[in-house]
Amino acid sequence: MVFDTGSTITAISPVTAVTLGYQPDYDNVMEINSASQAGVKAIPVIIPNFKLKEVELGPVYAYIINFPPEGNVFALLGLNVIQHFLTTIKINRPNSEIKLEPMFDVNNVETLDTYLSHSSRFGIWSAQR
């Protein structure tokens, strides 16, 4: 997984999407701009219960995109998730690490119905504040 503070929205690869039980809806493709190129094809999806290790986040808005094959990337953690964690980065090559500590009540996981009915912690609108 790539930790990308420059990405507004979290993204997963088509293989990861299928592994999680999604069939990418190729009729719902949109174009987004990334730091490296414009016009990246993306399929918006709401992951009903996104997990980072043992922390359940509940529903998370994400894109399904094709990552460059040479990067071996299956997911990209974007600002719509990252901003809700206290982040500590320890650079100690070759064993650097990123520590994420939730800044929210991990015992209060939103349901998909709640997510869809109003502004959500991990929705697209949370990254646009």
CATH number at residue 117: 2.40.70
Number of domains in the chain: 1
Which amino acid makes up residue 78?
A: G
Which amino acid makes up residue 38?
A: A
DSSP character for 107? T
Residue 48 confidence (pLDDT): 86
* Backbone dihedral angles phi then psi of residue 127, each to the nearest 5 degrees: -85, -10
Say how many C-beta atoms besides its own lie within 10 A of residue 70's C-beta.
Answer: 6
Strands (E), the chain: 2-3, 10-12, 30-32, 40-52, 55-65, 75-77, 85-90, 97-102
Weakly modelled stretches of the chain, pLDDT under 70: 118-129
Domain that holds residue 65: 2-128
Residue 129 confidence (pLDDT): 37
Q: Of 117, 13, 125, 107, which is closest to residue 68 (Cα–Cα)?
A: 13
Residue 20 confidence (pLDDT): 85
